[in-house]
Amino acid sequence: NKLAESDNFPSLPPKVKTLKLYGNSFSSIPKQICDRKLTSLEKLDLSCNNLAYVPPEICNLASLTELNLDKNALVSLPIEMGRLAKLKALSLKNNYLTKSNPQPIPAGVFTETLLIDLNLHGNDRLTSTDLNEFEGFDVFLERRKKKKDKSLHGGAMVDMSVCGLK
């Protein structure tokens, strides 16, 4: 079923671990999704909606490890996303992120989370050069390199294309 209005969104069971809400017509994230009672939510897919912003209350999802926000209308993320300490994977493909001040991805996302997988493919107004200039991005790259070195036993080149940018 396609959900259009976030106002009519039902309450969620506190023990839900994965929530896939791709392909709806949300213009905003339903407040029920950012409820601090969702202490077990680890994976959240809100891709292919019409989201123009992410509310600061997203930081209530303390167990979140994977967040998919592909194919929305996002231009930036809230500073509070840096409080998602367990976040390991963030996909923002095909949004409208650009080099701006403040930077569209807050430094805390790079420095205060466990992020190792970041996909920015399709954000055509954002380049790898721009990304390299973001505060905290060097911390993300170093963490990612260490993780990839461990998993590949010999190490691998850390390439900017892992974020999907040219």
For the chain, 166 residues long, the average pLDDT of each consecutive 10-residue run is 67 96 93 96 97 97 98 98 98 96 96 97 94 96 84 52 68
C-beta pairs of 15-21 under 8 Å, 24+ apart in sequence? 15/40, 16/40, 16/41, 17/41, 17/42, 17/43, 18/42, 18/43, 18/44, 19/43, 19/44, 19/45, 20/45, 21/45, 21/46, 21/49
Tokens of 85: 């300490």
Q: For 11, which DSSP code?
A: P
- Residue 8 is predicted with a pLDDT of 76
Classified as helix, coil or strand, 139 is helix
128: Cβ contacts below 8 Å, ≥ 6 apart = 160, 161, 163, 165, 166
pLDDT at 7: 61
List the one residue out of 27, 120, 6 whose CA is nearest residue 72. 27
pTM greater than 0.75 (yes/no): yes
Q: What is the pLDDT of residue 163?
A: 82
